[in-house]
Amino acid sequence: MIVSYHGGPSNVSTVRWWPYASFFCSLGYAWVEPNVRGSSGYGRAFVMADDGPQRLEALKDIETTGRWVAEQPWADKARLVIAGGSYGGYTTLIGVTRQQTLWRAGLDLFGIANWLTFMKSTSGVIRELFLTEIGDPDKDQALLESLSPIKDADKIRVPLFVYAGANDPRVPRSESDQIVKAVREHGVAVEYMVAANEGHSVARRENQIALGARVARFLGKALGP
């Protein structure tokens, strides 16, 4: 049972063909894509409902949607996987640090682990976007620290899969390096895949195939029979 959260954070999940969803459904998984507060397509108030300090409340949507999935007759509530890329990877890290009893495993693709280091290492339009979405690291340091999964890395108890592009200009590999190092220091299983020829993407066919295969093996082991 995979619950996949989109990036952005103001993107939106729509009805479409998506290769990873199709692949994992073919293996017997159910795949769900919630649109939590901050998603586009539901009006301006909804897309702005997670800006700045409001994000502390908006993060509760992760647990709410996860628990809704767990209550469905087609779901295996004992084997819920939280997944996502970019801001969705950040969502994954929030889930496994703050909702430890809900999720059985996490899939984090180039997610943000530490808002303070992220804001120092990213630039351009991405940095400008997150000044509004999250806050200014100089003026809102306490808020950014409170929103950073890295401070709660010791609370992660479930197996974690992390993917990063070595040349990522948006969410630098250093964000993934941080969370992998911190979680491993506490003895939790982490599988880490770094694609040497990718940026903020899984664009090359060989990497798409490798990622799907590795995640499938990882989940098979993490979730059991």
Give the confidence band of 224 by pLDDT, cuts at 50, 70, 90. confident
The amino acid at residue 158 is: V
Read off the tokens for 115: 């808002």
What average pLDDT does this structure show over 69-82? 96
Q: What SS3 class is residue 12?
A: coil
Asked if residue 108 has pLDDT above 90, the reply is yes
pLDDT value at residue 124: 85
- What is the phi/psi pair of residue 146, to 5°? -65, -25
The structure's pTM equals: 0.96
Q: Over the stretch 36-68, which tens digit does the pLDDT of each residue have?
A: 999 999 999 999 999 999 999 999 999 999 999
Q: What is the pLDDT of residues 116-160, one digit of tens each?
A: 999 999 888 899 999 999 999 999 999 999 999 999 999 999 999
* Ordered structural domains, the chain, with CATH: 2-223 (3.40.50.1820)
Predicted local confidence at residue 123, as pLDDT: 80
Which two tokens mark 105? 């495993």
